Structure formats: structure tokens, C-alpha cells
Amino acid sequence: MMMRQNFSSLHEVRDILMAAAALTVALSLLEIRYTQFVSGSILNNFLYILPAVALTVVLSFIIHELMHKFVAQKYGAVAAFQASPFGLVMAIVTGALGFLFAAPGATVIFTNSFTRRENGIVSLAGPIINFAVFLGALSLFYVLNPSSSSYLALTLSIMVTVSVILAFFNMLPIFPLDGSKVLAWNKPLYFSLLGVILVLMIFFVHIPLYSIILMLMIAFFFSFFYRMRF
């Protein structure tokens, strides 16, 4: 994908911060709909949950995108994160409405020398981070065994849920999602990882079937929007 030639490091930092802020707000708005609070106004609950969501976004979204960038650079490509104004607005609006269409931006890569294997590895680097965050948060939950009403339990629960859902969504075999490139590179690896992620979603997140169908619909919409734009 062709990058804007004047895209500086300052532009990239700005775009990452904008995307992280939008996603944090959107996820916080979504979480306060489904998290049981003892008391407090919507604003108080939003501010209460905001730090936990912000930490999750840093670990599961920002590092995900930076891993794409660093691995791409390792293979000699030029790469930078680029925010999507449409995606930023849609994330916040849909989060407020009770569901989430989150495509606040992506790591844009410019190269004419990637092999299918290199492209697959660069694409896999992001979901692997989500998988690692999931395992880390889940392990801490069992090791520390925090009280169900504690802020630590809330934070780890959000991390587990968001990280595995992001891993699943990004591994869908729909262009330009990461899964489409991993599938083109290594089919056995792709289906093995997708199967593991799907099992984790079902047993640890208890995500209903309609949510999986919704993610598929969002992925197809995202793919159509991307093709129309590029």
C-alpha cells in the first residue's frame, strides 16, 4: 500500500494518539452498558472504567499496530500508522449506540519486494500480540485471584475479552484484514490459530453466536469500504 510521502513521525504519533483516544472512548462507552456498577451516574461510571480500557487499548491495539510496523521495517519496508477520520468517528458513535465498528486506522506499508511469507509474518505479528495479552491477563487472573468486585478483576476481564476478540476479528480471512495474508502464506498455520482463538472466545469470553455473525458483517463492510477507498 502506498504511503503518503510527507507522512512524518510527528504525524504518526498524532494519528496513534487520536486512534487510541477514540478507541478508548468507544470501548468505555460500550463497557458501561454491560458492566454491573453498584451505583453512580453514567459519567462517573465512564470515568471509573476509562483507565482500565485505556491500558487495554495500549496493550491490545497500539502494540498490535507497532508490531506490524517493526516487523515490516525488519524486512526493509517503509511503514507507519495512519488514522482514519471516518473510522475514528464511527468507533465513538457505534460505541455509544451499544455495538462497535472499530477501524480507527492501520499500519500502512510501502514495499515492492515482500514475499508471500514475509507478508504473512508481518500480518501475523499483530494478532500474536493480542494472543499474548490474552494469555498474560488470564494468567494474572488465576495467579492473583482478585476479588470479583476489585478494579484489578475488572481490568483483567476487559483485557481478556478485548484482546481475544481483536485477535479473532483481525484473523478473519477477509482482505485487508491480517488473516487474509496469513491464509495466503500458510493455510495449516492459519486454520490452527483461528481454531485456537475461536475456542478461547467460546470458553473464556462466552461470546454469543450473533456477536460472531456481527463481526463477520463488520469485516465484510470494512473490506468493501477499503476497496472503494483504495
Q: What is the pLDDT, as a whole number, of residue 4?
A: 43
Global pTM reads: 0.85
Q: What is the pLDDT, as a whole number, of residue 210?
A: 67
- Determine the longest span between alpha carbons in the chain, in angstroms: 57
Q: Which residues of 103-119 are buried (b: 16+ CB within 10 A; e: fewer)?
A: bbbbbbbebeebeeebb
Q: What is the pLDDT, as a whole number, of residue 5?
A: 43
pLDDT tens figures, 52-93: 999 999 999 999 999 999 999 999 999 999 998 888 888 888
Angstrom distance (rounded) from CA 108 to CA 82: 6
| All structural domains of the chain with their residue ranges | 9-229
Q: What is the pLDDT, as a whole number, of residue 229?
A: 54
Angstrom distance (rounded) from CA 38 to CA 151: 13
Q: What is the pLDDT, as a whole number, of residue 6?
A: 44
Q: What is the pLDDT, as a whole number, of residue 153?
A: 93
118 is known as an active-site residue: no
Q: What is the pLDDT, as a whole number, of residue 226?
A: 57
For the chain, list residues with pLDDT below 70: 1-8, 36-39, 207-211, 215, 219, 222-230
Angstrom distance (rounded) from CA 45 to CA 193: 36
Q: What is the pLDDT, as a whole number, of residue 228?
A: 56
Helices (H), 145-208: 151-170, 178-185, 187-200
Q: What is the pLDDT, as a whole number, of residue 122?
A: 96
User: Half-sphere exposure of 100 toward its Cβ, with a 13 Å CA cutoff?
Assistant: 21
CB neighbours of residue 58 within 10 Å = 13
Cα torsion at 47, 50, 52, 53 (round to 10°)? 160
Amino acid (1-letter code) at residue 70: F
Average pLDDT, the chain: 86
Angstrom distance (rounded) from CA 143 to CA 149: 17
Which member of 12, 31, 65, 118 is catalytic?
A: 65
